[in-house]
Amino acid sequence: MNKAIPRGATRINQRLKQFPRRHLLLASTIAASIMGLMALLPSGDVEAKRNEIPMPIDAFQSQETTTELTGSSTPSQSSPFISNNDTDKSESSIKELEQEAEAKALAKAAYDLEQRLGKWHHVTIKSGDNLSVLFNNQGLNASVVYQVANTPKYGETLARIRPGESLEFRINQEGILTQLRYVKSKLESIFFNREDEGYRAELVTLSPEIRPTYANGTIESSLFLASQKAGLSQNLTMELAGIFGWDIDFVQDIRSGDSFNLLYEEKYLEGEKLGDGNILVASFTNQGQTYTAIRYTDSNGDTDYYTPDGKSMKKAFLRTPVDFTRISSRFNPNRLHPVFKTKRPHRGVDYAAPMNTPIKAAGDGRVQFSGWQNGFGNVVFIQHPNNVVTVYAHANKLAGLKKGQKVRQGQTIAYVGQTGWATGPHLHYEFRVNGVHRNPMTVKLPDAAPIAKSEMASFKKRSELMIARLEKQSETLLATQ
Between CA 178 and CA 121 the distance in angstroms is: 12
Please identify, using beta-carbon distances, which residue of 319 and 460 lies nearer to Zn ion.
319
Could you tell me where the DSSP H helices lie in 131-233?
131-137, 142-149, 223-229
Q: Nearest approach, Cβ of 465 to Zn ion (angstroms)?
A: 49
The separation between CA 364 and the C-alpha centre of its own chain, rounded to angstroms, equals 25
Q: Nearest approach, Cβ of 340 to Zn ion (angstroms)?
A: 13
102-110, 273-281, 305-313, 348-356 -> range binding Zn ion (CB under 5 A):
348-356
One residue of 239, 304, 350, 430 binding Zn ion per CB under 5 A: 350
Q: Nearest approach, Cβ of 337 to Zn ion (angstroms)?
A: 9
Please identify, using beta-carbon distances, which residue of 264 and 331 lies nearer to Zn ion.
331
Report the candidate in 344, 317, 322, 345 with the shortest Cα–Cα distance to residue 333.
345
103-111, 255-263, 344-352, 466-474 -> range binding Zn ion (CB under 5 A):
344-352
Q: Nearest approach, Cβ of 354 to Zn ion (angstroms)?
A: 17
3-state secondary structure 436-470: EEECCCCCCCCECCCCCHHHHHHHHHHHHHHHHHH
Q: Nearest approach, Cβ of 381 to Zn ion (angstroms)?
A: 15
Applying the rule CB under 5 A, the residues between 104 and 163 that interact with Zn ion are: none
Applying the rule CB under 5 A, the residues between 242 and 301 that interact with Zn ion are: none
Q: Nearest approach, Cβ of 277 to Zn ion (angstroms)?
A: 42
* Stretch (H or E) spanning 32: helix 21-40
Please identify, using beta-carbon distances, which residue of 260 and 392 lies nearer to Zn ion.
392
Please identify, using beta-carbon distances, which residue of 104 and 428 lies nearer to Zn ion.
428
Q: Nearest approach, Cβ of 360 to Zn ion (angstroms)?
A: 17
143-151, 186-194, 320-328, 345-353 -> range binding Zn ion (CB under 5 A):
345-353
DSSP annotation of 338 reads: T
DSSP annotation of 154 reads: T
For residue 265, count other CB atoms closer than 10 A to its CB: 18
* Stretch (H or E) spanning 74: none
Instruction: Write the CB contacts of 364 (distance below 8 Å, at least 6 apart in sequence).
Output: 316, 384, 385, 406, 407, 408, 409
Residue type, 313: M
Please identify, using beta-carbon distances, which residue of 313 and 393 lies nearer to Zn ion.
393
Count of residues in contact with Zn ion, rule CB under 5 A? 2
Between CA 451 and CA 26 the distance in angstroms is: 44
Q: Under the criterion CB under 5 A, does residue 304 sit at the interface with Zn ion?
A: no
Between CA 247 and CA 437 the distance in angstroms is: 24
Report the candidate in 204, 282, 155 with the shortest Cα–Cα distance to residue 23.
204
Please identify, using beta-carbon distances, which residue of 257 and 375 lies nearer to Zn ion.
375
Please identify, using beta-carbon distances, which residue of 218 and 373 lies nearer to Zn ion.
373
Q: Nearest approach, Cβ of 332 to Zn ion (angstroms)?
A: 10
Q: Nearest approach, Cβ of 440 to Zn ion (angstroms)?
A: 11
Q: Nearest approach, Cβ of 189 to Zn ion (angstroms)?
A: 52
Please identify, using beta-carbon distances, which residue of 145 and 349 lies nearer to Zn ion.
349
Please identify, using beta-carbon distances, which residue of 250 and 376 lies nearer to Zn ion.
376
Query: Please, what is the end-to-end C-alpha distance for the chain in angstroms?
Result: 52
71-79, 266-274, 346-354, 438-446 -> range binding Zn ion (CB under 5 A):
346-354
Q: Could you give the count of Cα atoms lying within 13 Å of 397 in the half-sphere of its Cβ?
A: 8
Please identify, using beta-carbon distances, which residue of 28 and 390 lies nearer to Zn ion.
390
With CB atoms as reference, the residue minimizing the distance to Zn ion is 428
58-66, 105-113, 173-181, 342-350 -> range binding Zn ion (CB under 5 A):
342-350
Starting at the edge strand that comes first in sequence, how are the strands of the sheet with 397-398 ordered?
Answer: 358-360, 412-415, 397-398
One residue of 104, 108, 428, 437 binding Zn ion per CB under 5 A: 428
Q: Three-class SS of residue 127? A: coil
Between CA 458 and CA 455 the distance in angstroms is: 6
Q: Three-class SS of residue 339? A: coil
Binding residues (CB under 5 A) for Zn ion: these are: 350, 428
